[in-house]
Amino acid sequence: MNVYFDNAATTMVREEAVDAMVNAMRDDYGNPSSLHGFGRRASLMLETARAKVANALCTKPDNIFFTSGGTEANNWAVRNTLRSLSHKGKHIITSSIEHSAVSEPIKALENTGWEVTYLSPDSSGRINLQNFSDALRQDTVFASIMLVNNEVGAVNPIYEFSQELRRRALSTVLHTDAVQGLCKIPMSVKELGADLVAVSAHKLHGPKGAGALFINDKVKIDSLFIGGKQEKGNRGGTEPLPGAVGFGVAAELGVNELSTTSAAVRSLREYTSKLIKENLPDAVFIGEGDSPFLLCVSLPGYKSEVLMNYLDSVGVCVSNGSACKKGARSRTLEAMRLRNDVIDGALRISFSRYSTREEAEYFLMKLKSAADGIVKAL
């Protein structure tokens, strides 16, 4: 049996999205910028996809700009917005647990003279509103806090951050990486109150290589690529039509199914937790389960890499954190000030709408075998 419990890294592309993408590649394959019939049909498909992604975020299609994924969307939001804000101030607020698509661009800016305040999470993995408020200054021109932590599933109070900015009458641009949130928790750009929202298709059963950035009308952001008038001149180059179409279909279906999928996944998460508690009583659960799609658990005294290698050998896919850190120690768990043995034994289990109880039972059986085997080997 094969069990794929690494859906926070990427998800299976759903058949409806595959079919739409194949059509965009094989049949309606025109360039959306061309003026003939093929081009007009391609343009209509592109704008239909844009409208579907916009609807998933409860915003206008004019505010949605397609990218190659969450990393590009986050890089664009951070680097190109700050380029146009430097004359207003040079202070940035972010967290110490952002995805590298946000943290690395900010570190690069810090090296050029920007001042950065890094906020640490509490024991649940969330960024505290009071800490955010305390860090704000008159010259804080940009703040970036992720919506859903990609390792422990903590959901940050982005709307409360936005309200604090309004209460203090600050013009700070608020950005959030919502890659783990879209079609997984109820959200809209209005409810978030953020000026820039980055999302990605492959976390919600769409294709890799497709993402989007919501840009509030009031935000001035430099173009990402020049050399063409695509995406209102913000991202020159022929639009990735198949990816955008697949993203649109996945987003449309994901939003329509959100309540039923979330309920099913939450039930599965609780069932998996129950199995672990009953069979591995020394396991430590990390975080409070804000997102039903993520479960972070540790077996103190074990090495997550050893557990993962065994599980992989018997057809079970899990991770020990973000796929982008490629085996490095988790910054999130370190920032939460967990014990070293808890960090070293941590596993991230992430579910999707296609995950089943039978898979959870098989996973638990093999995890227990791995733990027993390691003990015997010692």
Helix axes 241-256, 15-26, angle to 10 degrees: 150
Which residues does 15 contact at the CB level (< 8 Å), separation at least 6?
none
Question: In this structure, are residues 191 and 39 in contact, taking their beta carbons and an 8 Å threshold?
Answer: no
Instruction: Write out the H or E segment, with its range, that includes residue 375.
Output: helix 357-377
Give the Cα separation of 53 and 25 in Å (integer).
20
The single-letter code of the amino acid at 370 is A
Q: Which of 58, 296, 317, 324 is catalytic?
A: 324
Residue labelled with tokens 């700050």: 82
DSSP secondary structure letters along 146-201: -SB-TTT-PBP-HHHHHHHHHHTT---EEEEE-TTTTTTS---HHHH--SEEEEES
Closest Cα to residue 351, out of 17, 1, 3, 98? 3
Give the Cα separation of 215 and 301 in Å (integer).
46
* E strands, the chain, in order: 3-4, 64-67, 91-95, 115-119, 140-144, 173-177, 196-200, 211-215, 284-286, 294-298, 316-317, 346-350
Both structure tokens of 347: 């596993």
* E strands, 46-180, in order: 64-67, 91-95, 115-119, 140-144, 173-177
Give the Cα separation of 76 and 193 in Å (integer).
19
The size of the chain, in residues, is 378
Residue 317 annotated in active site: no
Laid out side by side, the sheet with 346-350 consists of 284-286, 294-298, 346-350
CB atoms within 10 A of CB 295: 26
The single-letter code of the amino acid at 79 is R
The set of catalytic residues is: 324
